[in-house]
Structures are given as C-alpha cells and as structure tokens.
Amino acid sequence: MNHKTTRQRLRALAFTAIALVSAGFFTACDDEIDMENRFTFKGELISTYLQNNPERFSSFTYILDKAKIGKKTSGSVLKTLSTYGSYTCFAPTNSAVETFLQEQYDLYLEGERTGIHSPYLEDLTDSMATEIARNHIIEMGYLTTDIYEGSFPMSTMNRRFTTVEFITDEAGRVFPLLNNSALIIEQDLEKENGYVQVVNGVLHPSNKLLPELIEAQPAFRIFSDAIRATGIDSILNIYEIDLDYDNTLLGPKFGTEGGTCPYPRDKKQRYTVLIEPDALFNSYGIEDYKALGEWAEKWYGTEAKGDYKNPKNALHQFILYHIIDRQLLYCSSTGPGGFIQENYENKGYSSIVNLNQKYDSYEYYETMLPYTMVKVTKPYTNSKLKQEIIINYAQDKGTACIVPGMEEHMNVIVEKVSVTKEKYEDLADFEQSSLNGILHTIDRILIYNEEEISGNIFNERIRMDASSLFPELTNNEVRWDLQTTESKLTYIPEGFCKYLVMNNTDTKMYYLRPHQTWSNSYANYQGDEFLVEGSYDFKYRLPHVPEGTYEIRFGYAKGYYRGVCQFYVDGKIAGIPVDLRWNDDTDVIVGWFDESNMSEEEINENDKAMHNRGYMKGPASIVMSDEKNMRESVQPLRKVIGTFRLDRGDHWLRFKDVSDKGSTKQFEQDYIELVPTSVISNPSKPEDIY
C-alpha cells in the first residue's frame, strides 16, 4: 500500500464521519465535554448496549462472545462486559469488521501470516477472536478528555498499549487516531460499567518484533541495516522470558497494609529504540550503514574497524546506545510506562502537585551499551523546551557543552508521532509499537561521549526512584500502575528482577503504588515505595553511572514498624547499623531541626551538622498533599551511606536486618541518590536543597 494511502483513507473516513455524527463528539483533548451532546444510558451495561444495536455492532458482539477471558477460565469477554466494574470498550462497527477480515484474508493469500484464513466472520477461530476482542478492552474507564498524545494510560486486556494521536479536520474538529489505523468516530458513550468509544477500524497492533517493525519502514533503512550488520537484531528479538510464568499467583500479605498482593501481570522483556530516520543521517552525508559506521568512529574510535559484530566496533556501540532496556511510552497522561511521570493521579497522589512543576522532572535509564545511561528530562524551567521530552539535557538550562561538536548531539528531542509524520513525508504511516517494544524518532543524532556525559550531563545529584532501578517493573506494568483492584501492593517474587537478589527466604518484597501522602507522615518521591518484610537480607546492583567518586544516599521515611538495617557496599560493611524507626529520640539522633525561624546562615550551619551525623532532610522539591514539602516534614530523611569509588563494572548495595529477635521487621526505600563528590565540594555552586 502506498505510504499516503492509509493517511488519506483515514482523513476521508473522518470527514465522512462528521456528516454522520454530531460535531459535539469531536473535542480537543484539553476541551471540556459538551454535556448536551454526550450520550448517557443510565443502567445500561456495555454488553447490553452492543447487543441492543445489532445493526452497528453485531459482528463485534459475535467476536466478544466467542473470545475467552484467559487460559484458566471459560468465560467470554462479552460476559466480562456484563459485569460491574470500569472498562473502556473500543467498538468497531460492522463495516469496520468486514473490511478488516477481507484485508487480513487478502494478506494471507499473499503469503503473510495473519491468522485469518477466511473473510467470513463465522470462520474466525477462537484464538483470533480472543486476540481481536482483548485488543479492544481496557480494564478501566477512560474518556477521550483523559488522554493526551502518546497512548492510553493502561494496556488492553492483551497487554498492548493503544497509541493515540489527534487528526484535525479543516473545520478544526479533532479525531483521536488509535494505533495509526482507526478513528474514534463517536466518543465517550457512558455506560453503567464504563465507556464505549466507537471506532471505524479494528485495532490490530503489530505482532512484529522490533527488528522486523523497523525493517518494514523504508525511512529507517540505514538504522535497520546497521541492526542486522551488527547482529543486534538477536537482542531485539527477545520477548518471552518465562513461558511458564503464572500471573494468577498471590504473594503473602504485607502486615500493615492488608489486601491481596498479586504477582506482576507479565514476565516479558521489552525495549525502547530511539531512532534517526534516513533523512537525518543524509543531512550529515551518511547514505548507508557503512558510512554511518565510519562517521561513528569519530566518537567511538576505530577499534575493530569493519568488524560490525564486535562490541568494540563504533557502529555496534552507536546502535546499542540507542536502545533502552525497557518500554517507554510518549505518554503525558496518567498511568505506567511513560518516559517521565506526569499528570499521574492515583488514590490521592498527584504528580503535578507532589512533584512541583516549578522544577524540572527527570529520569535516568541504562542503555544496552554497557556501563552507559541516558538522562531524560521534562525541563519545566526552560520556557523554550518545557513541553518537550529531552534526552541528555545539558547543564545551565541546556546551554552548557564541554566537548567541541557535542552541542549537536545533546538536548535530543523525543518526537511525538504527529510531529514525525508532518516532518517526514515517507513516515506518514509510521507504526511505532511492536510486540516487544516501541520506536521513537529523535531530532538529532544521539552520541555517547564519556567526557561530556560525566563532566556535564551527569555532573549533578543523580536521584532515582527505587522502582526505576529495575526495568522489569516498567516492562510488566508494575511501576506507576493504577490501582484497579483492592490491592495497593504487588508482590515481587524471587528472581523476577535480574539485578535484585534475595539472600534468604525470609525476605518478602513488595511494590507499593503511588498513594496519598501527608505533612508529618509518609511522603514519597514519586508517590510509590519499595517495602520489605521479614528478617530480610537482599541486595541490588547500583545503576551504571559514569566512573567517579560518589556519595551514596538512601532516601526513606522513618516509621514505627521500621527495623535496624546494616548497609554493605560491594560486600563490605558501610558504617554502623542504622535504626530506621521513628521514636522520641530519632530527631535528636539524626540532628533534625525546625528551620522556620532561622536565618539562612543558621540553616546552612545546621544542615552541615546534620550531614556530619550522616543524615539530610528530604528534598524541598517534593510536596505533600497539604503543600508542605519533604524538607519541612520530620519524617522523610536521607541517610548518607558513605563515599565510594564507582569504577566501570557492577557495584552492589546490600541491606541486612539486624533488629532484635521478635521485633517487627520492615524495611522501606523511596529513592537513592548518587552524588559526585565534585558536586558536593564545589564552593561556587553549592548543592541546592531541592
């Protein structure tokens, strides 16, 4: 199909839909809903609505009835939509289903593996009906006004995210375009158990793995050829980790929280690929992957020249640095899996309120190039770039550069799909979501340079949420997950995270999703926390920051049920055991002080005294629900574990319970800070309180 065909067909369908459906259905994502034009059927369930409108949805209803909920139940998806709860149902019309079946059958006749061997609905297999149905249901109700460009916040029942962009017609009306293939032509039909979004196409996300998805797009020929030449396609073809993984299991209950503690939903590997289109490479005179390899030698050296499969080869290193070890969505709406946590609200926690947008938001992610990371920033303090997601945002609001030539390869913008399609004519049909990951185009050629990264980009206090240390939590919808059941907690079983090792069977580990915080009680960096119960002994690998000497800090909230912990770094005891409990003596021991009536000089002196005791107050940039920040609260603390040299290689932080026998044994971690000593000792630019 010509690259313009799909786009033109969708626009034509959109304009036809305008004539058929009230314009009140088509609203920009930031507009208020026109309540006069919104369909409301009090007491009608989603299943009932679909069955009561056979002239439009009989084909989809047939598919839902044929589809099974899961491997261990005989219940149909249609039956699920007959129960109370909260669902989003993307409902394709009869004509959409008919068109889809014919198109898939035609592709089958051409030799493609579609799973559909007949254009007739009654010939659809149970497995294909199940796949189709589950791609159209999200187990939480969403209005179109709840979403932004990127994706719906939660995955479908098929564990696939539904991507979203917005098409505007000549009259200024907006159509959400899903998976680059179907428009929502009637929005937000409210039912007793959720919302129906009527679509003019069947949602059929690609089942290609990343290398095949990239290869299928001619605009990525150079990058695709480089992946094949380097053999990195073998990495990007990994998806299933454990075919026998059972996501129906429940872990032991956590003592003070109550409720069930389910296992993570999946155990799969996913990736993010940051990709430059050929047109961007061409602007540097790069016409093929060999020329790209020669160009990359300027930055990565000439060792193993021409031996593309050698990990020391420049092209090999270049490609690996573009791959992040988890799936990150361009998602500015609520929910898991985005580059940056923004507009997230769950059970009293709000990222907009609690992570005050007077300050930049940031995350750090390891890449597949060994011992390297990228910094991802939403620079709210930079008026020019504040709406962008930036890779390797430089110091001084993006202006600083210390290596000649690197200014062209920092402040790399992750482009929205709509921007990509407008910018590159041959990417009008850009498909970014694969079975095991996602593609994002970038506006500059991304380069790793040790001097620039260590001396500029990462020459700062590196604060990482504890859950960000483990890619498995992002890849399997644990981190930032919305609470869809009674459980606030997800149990993390032994061996689930590669770089999280439990040294004894008494260690019971949990992820507590973002939740309510209070002024003088529990407060968390990103609303969530890691909890451990039992006579614990575990360790995790520290992130691969640039080589250097760092002060390592442990962010936590002291509590009545916390125990006493001994820290170890690389197997060696780090300091004396630390009492993490909250009692009458805690403030005196740590040196906490009320600064409300102190001068700046007095505050600085007390901060130094507290640091000398091995403690720091919580960051002032993290706000609690009543607008009091962590620094003003007596409970959140940073424990200074010590100063350590982190050379290239793996470094491990171990935690061991040394509490008295019989006492309650709990452990909590919120975040970790790795601070270069050059930052701490810089008199011209003292470390801030944020």
DSSP letters for 195-259: EEEEESS--------HHHHHHT-GGGHHHHHHHHHHTTHHHHT--BS-TT--TT-EEPPPTTT-S
Only one residue has tokens 């451990």, namely: 532
Of the listed ranges 80-94, 95-109, 469-483, the least confidently predicted one is: 469-483
Only one residue has tokens 């949990």, namely: 510
What is the spatial distance between Cα 156 and Cα 470, in angstroms, rounded to a whole number? 23
Closest by Cα among 541, 479, 485 to 512: 479
Query: What phi and psi values does residue 618 have, to the nearest 5 degrees?
Result: -70, 165
Q: Could you report the per-residue pLDDT of 330-343, keeping only the tens digit for each?
A: 875 556 678 988 77
pLDDT tier, 154 (very low <50, low <70, confident <90, very high otherwise): confident
Provide the angle, in degrees to the nearest 10, between the axes of the packed helices 221-230 and 289-300. Answer: 70
User: Would you give the end-to-end CA distance of the chain in angstroms?
Assistant: 53
For domain 210-239+267-325+367-457, give the fold. FAS1 domain (2.30.180)
Q: Could you report the per-residue pLDDT of 281-331, keeping only the tens digit for each?
A: 999 999 999 999 999 999 999 999 999 999 999 999 999 999 999 999 987
What is the spatial distance between Cα 194 and Cα 46, in angstroms, rounded to a whole number? 7
The distance of Cα 199 from the centroid of its chain, to the nearest Å, equals 26
pLDDT at position 145, please? 86
User: Which DSSP letter does residue 642 get?
Assistant: E
Give the DSSP H/E element, type plus range, for residue 290. helix 289-300
pLDDT at position 72, please? 58
User: Which DSSP letter does residue 338 get?
Assistant: B
Per CATH, 5-199 and 462-680 having the same topology is answered no
Provide the angle, in degrees to the nearest 10, between the axes of the packed helices 94-109 and 54-66. Answer: 50
Contact 134, 154 (CB under 8 A): no
What is the spatial distance between Cα 177 and Cα 185, in angstroms, rounded to a whole number? 9
Burial 655-682 (b: 16+ CB within 10 A, else e): bbbebeeeeebbbbbbbbbbbbeebeee
Alpha carbons within 13 A on the beta-carbon side of 594: 3
Tokens of 551: 């002060």
Contact 386, 357 (CB under 8 A): no
What is the spatial distance between Cα 484 and Cα 79, in angstroms, rounded to a whole number? 19
What type of residue is 329? L
Pairing of strands 194-199, 87-92: parallel
**Residue, of 665 and 81, whose pLDDT is higher:** 81
- pTM higher than the cut 0.95: no
What distances in angstroms separate CA 158 from CA 69, 317, 689, one per listed residue? 10, 34, 44
What type of residue is 226? A
What is the spatial distance between Cα 670 and Cα 636, in angstroms, rounded to a whole number? 9
Query: What phi and psi values does residue 366 have, to the nearest 5 degrees?
Result: -75, 150
pLDDT at position 2, please? 38
Q: Could you report the per-residue pLDDT of 31-70, keeping only the tens digit for each?
A: 333 333 334 445 799 999 999 999 999 999 999 999 988 6
**Residue, of 32 and 535, whose pLDDT is higher:** 535
Give the DSSP H/E element, type plus range, for residue 79. helix 77-80
Q: Could you report the per-residue pLDDT of 261-288, keeping only the tens digit for each?
A: 999 989 999 999 999 999 999 999 999 9
pLDDT at position 175, please? 86
What is the spatial distance between Cα 128 and Cα 108, in angstroms, rounded to a whole number? 14
Identify any residues that bridge with 198 across adjacent strands, giving them in sequence order.
91, 186
Identify any residues that bridge with 238 across adjacent strands, giving them in sequence order.
none
Closest by Cα among 442, 452, 441 to 299: 452
Domain ranges in the chain are: 5-199, 210-239+267-325+367-457, 462-680
Dump the DSSP string for 570-627: TTEE-SS-EE-B--TTHHHHHT----TT--HHHHHHHHHHHHHTTEEEPPTTBB-TTS
What is the spatial distance between Cα 583 and Cα 565, in angstroms, rounded to a whole number? 16
Only one residue has tokens 């399609």, namely: 421
pLDDT at position 65, please? 95
Provide the angle, in degrees to the nearest 10, between the axes of the packed helices 126-134 and 54-66. Answer: 120
| pLDDT at residue 679 is higher than 50 | yes
Q: By CB neighbour count within 10 A (0-12 exposed, 13-18 middle, 19+ buried), where does 547 fall?
A: middle
CATH class of 462-680: mainly beta
pLDDT tier, 173 (very low <50, low <70, confident <90, very high otherwise): confident
Dump the DSSP string for 445-474: -----HHHIIIIITSS-EEEEGGGG-HHHH
Architecture, CATH, for domain 5-199: Roll (2.30)
3-state DSSP call for residue 569? strand
Burial 68-85 (b: 16+ CB within 10 A, else e): bbeeeeeebbbbbbeeee
Rounded average pLDDT over 144-171: 87
Q: Could you report the per-residue pLDDT of 619-638, keeping only the tens digit for each?
A: 999 988 767 889 998 889 99
What type of residue is 584? D
Tokens of 448: 């790793």
